[in-house]
Structure 1
């Protein structure tokens, strides 16, 4: 990486803060965290049994931070950063990564953005150099913005052409209304068409600062080596006495949906629907009981909804529930896709099952099965370096702490029938909202 940052690092090494050992066991590996001067945090997990490493640079900014006039800026910026830096063209960046067989990509969510690279462990220095260059030395030229604007508009069109994707954005809008959580990460066609170079570059320079960033690495990595690489790459940006940005707390979760229903009228073979209700935020201790509940109601092939609607009656191909958590807010929802003529019966069965669970809870057998499903999914999901890297980043940015895998398993094991019953009674007796993509008119929604 070139520029003043690298030069400063070479002449005056940045002092390293205290390193804390967060985990060391057979499940979680060796996890270490260091807070560097300037507020940049570095968290690593050493996995000696692999030959690769995944590096991520997380920025605590997402679509939730945008107002309507710049909706989609965070996602647009994620695209734009790959167009070139002060020292590398887009082709040079891509060529350098392809030459070592690595993969580099990024994603934007409502509360954070992540740039990551998966490489052989021996190529970790290259990954640090390229990713840090992207994140700290982006050009964001007007020419690049215009070419990428078309790409983002095509991505929005692709989302609109896929009803099972469009219904999820519609559900968020129906539940949260015209708020940052209710708006799509992609922005709207109108907002993207109106974004200027100053809008996007200003967003970059105000938000992409060391206190809002976390660097995570997992695989065959050494924490000291990662610190040295990151310190050299970020250079002068690690100066000053800044501390990490405070943990995002968010507003209180809404007690009822913004609207009762939302519709995208489309001539589709299937109707795609989401029925849901507000839920707790991600720092709520009841989230473990809610996760067990979600698994039992619609989280797998043995779940109530799958058995009742697909296996017994064959009304759908796909049906299931999901639980989403944000800072101070959340949602529980049930998705189904079926022919138009079956929609009334499918909705009746979904509502009936939720009513029964609200009144009676779930059985001890279902609780045990839900706990096992969550524990197995957690551990099996951590078999690769990418998922480990992602867990580190989300732990630091979203929770402000790292919980060892063993502790999370213990918390899941502690969930009992009464806790699940209490969560079910709260969630499933609230007002619901319905999002529908299919061959309907607005006047049909009341009937549904």
Structure 2
């Protein structure tokens, strides 16, 4: 690894990783503000702000932004998540300063033109409508809402159509001023880059960022669990069953990741083999474990036919419950290998690597070495992994389902089934 980190006088941090033999660079701006930082009256603003960043600045029109980056052969994009918003570019090595200049321009000089704002709100309303029409996406939104009822972390990132339609320029400006502060931002770059050059360009381009922090809205998350079902005329039931997981800083976080991989992370996993291969009860089924800064979620997703829901539920739950007691050494070795391949693959992609080092710096105030992560994975024993799974399965269940949902188990019935294993 050739990671270098600099903290500028403003508090903004720059982290880079030079990757030998590459001729392109990926770089971006990661902001420690996402949907969970929004007040109730701001729901959807993080995502709207991400969209509006590309709609014109004092120096560039929306079209000029697109033409300038693409004339250099590069591309520009952004993404909003629960805890972060990212703006990033991929360019030839010599165009890294151009990419940083454009990124700084859209984050510090955007005009939020009223006409563009109304047009982009219309685009987001279309995006919200697309999710409503896509049950395998929507079910995860209602799953979060069920797991964290009445909390910002449980609200959908896109916002609601009614709320988004109300936003004006003042709301966007106030949110930007409150959250897009120099000490909440990391500039990450990887590939054919020189740290000193990126540092100097960042210092020059992002000097206009505010350093005055306004009290952020991030109440600690409380996993509660619950049951949300949307009965719709669909061919399949889309079901997510979940439990309380672990935050990414927890000592047993990697144990929980290995458990999730072992029970539902690939074609050889217990869920896939038993539910799909042996019984043909689902086309799609997989387990997951998501870690946030202060909480986590573990569970599985399945899409199954109306007639198969009643059989799938006990079979899938038995796979999970039995794994917490009988997970084997060979299953653990396979899950660990999958995790290590995923980790090492990120080191081969400048875009993935830039995101990895930026997010790690935000989460841990340092970048974790490859050797450190692999050592932590390898050090886990079978008892730790089983115990992590058992602890998750002992928490209050969360149910989210869309389609023909009458035979989806209730949280009480799920807990009862797991206790009986």
The TM-score, its normalising length taken from structure 1, stands at 0.88
Q: Do the aligned partners of residues 292 and 247 (structure 1) sit closer, same or farther apart at CA in structure 2, a change above 3 Å counting?
A: farther
1:131 to 94, 103, 113: 103
- Give the match for residue 399 of structure 1: 364
Structure 1 residue 102 displacement after superposition: 0.7
Alignment of 1:272-311 (within 5 A): 272-311=238-277
- Give the match for residue 285 of structure 2: 319
| Structure 2: distance between partners of 1:228 and 1:430 | 49
Q: Is the 8 A contact 2:151 2:221 kept in 1?
A: no
Q: Is the 8 A contact 2:4 2:15 kept in 1?
A: yes
Q: Do the aligned partners of residues 90 and 384 (structure 1) sit closer, same or farther apart at CA in structure 2, a change above 3 Å counting?
A: same
Residue by residue over 1:402-446, the C-alpha shift from the partner in whole angstroms, topping out at 9 and shown as x without a partner, is 111111011100011111121122111222121101134699968
2:166 paired with 1:194: yes
Residue by residue over 1:186-208, the C-alpha shift from the partner in whole angstroms, topping out at 9 and shown as x without a partner, is 01112112222211121112211
Residue by residue over 1:24-74, the C-alpha shift from the partner in whole angstroms, topping out at 9 and shown as x without a partner, is xxxxx3100000011110000000211100011111100000122110000
Structure 1 residue 142 displacement after superposition: 2.2
- Give the match for residue 33 of structure 1: 5
* SS in structure 1 at match of 2:53: helix
1:337 to 292, 303, 309: 303
2:323 paired with 1:357: yes
- Give the match for residue 328 of structure 1: 294
* SS in structure 2 at match of 1:38: coil
- Give the match for residue 31 of structure 2: 59
* SS in structure 1 at match of 2:333: helix
1:145 to 108, 113, 117: 117
* SS in structure 1 at match of 2:247: coil
Structure 1 residue 345 displacement after superposition: 0.8
1:380 to 336, 345, 357: 345
| Structure 1: distance between partners of 2:297 and 2:410 | 21
Q: Is the 8 A contact 2:179 2:214 kept in 1?
A: no
Q: Do the aligned partners of residues 89 and 183 (structure 1) sit closer, same or farther apart at CA in structure 2, a change above 3 Å counting?
A: same
Q: Is the 8 A contact 1:56 1:389 kept in 2?
A: yes
RMSD: 2.2
* SS in structure 2 at match of 1:82: coil
| Structure 1: distance between partners of 2:217 and 2:168 | 28
Structure 1 residue 381 displacement after superposition: 3.1
* SS in structure 2 at match of 1:181: helix
Structure 1 residue 183 displacement after superposition: 0.2
Residue by residue over 1:240-288, the C-alpha shift from the partner in whole angstroms, topping out at 9 and shown as x without a partner, is 7x8x99999962653x41x2x1112222111111001111111101011
Structure 1 residue 361 displacement after superposition: 4.1
- Give the match for residue 79 of structure 2: 107
Q: Is the 8 A contact 1:279 1:332 kept in 2?
A: yes
Residue by residue over 1:298-324, the C-alpha shift from the partner in whole angstroms, topping out at 9 and shown as x without a partner, is 011110000001111111111010000
| Structure 1: distance between partners of 2:407 and 2:333 | 43
Alignment of 1:58-77 (within 5 A): 58-77=30-49
* SS in structure 2 at match of 1:324: strand
Residue by residue over 1:338-388, the C-alpha shift from the partner in whole angstroms, topping out at 9 and shown as x without a partner, is 111101111111111122123x14111111111111111211233110000
Q: Which moved more, 1:137-146 or 1:84-93?
A: 137-146
Q: Is the 8 A contact 2:50 2:85 kept in 1?
A: yes
**Runs of 5+ unmatched residues, structure 1:** 1-28
Structure 1 residue 145 displacement after superposition: 1.4
* SS in structure 1 at match of 2:316: helix
Q: Do the aligned partners of residues 381 and 443 (structure 1) sit closer, same or farther apart at CA in structure 2, a change above 3 Å counting?
A: closer
2:124 paired with 1:158: no
Residue by residue over 1:84-123, the C-alpha shift from the partner in whole angstroms, topping out at 9 and shown as x without a partner, is 1111100110000110111100000010100000001111
**Runs of 5+ unmatched residues, structure 2:** 415-421
- Give the match for residue 88 of structure 2: 116
2:53 paired with 1:81: yes
* SS in structure 1 at match of 2:144: helix
Structure 1 residue 228 displacement after superposition: 1.4
* SS in structure 2 at match of 1:409: helix
Q: Is the 8 A contact 1:298 1:306 kept in 2?
A: yes
Q: Is the 8 A contact 1:277 1:332 kept in 2?
A: yes
Aligned length: 413
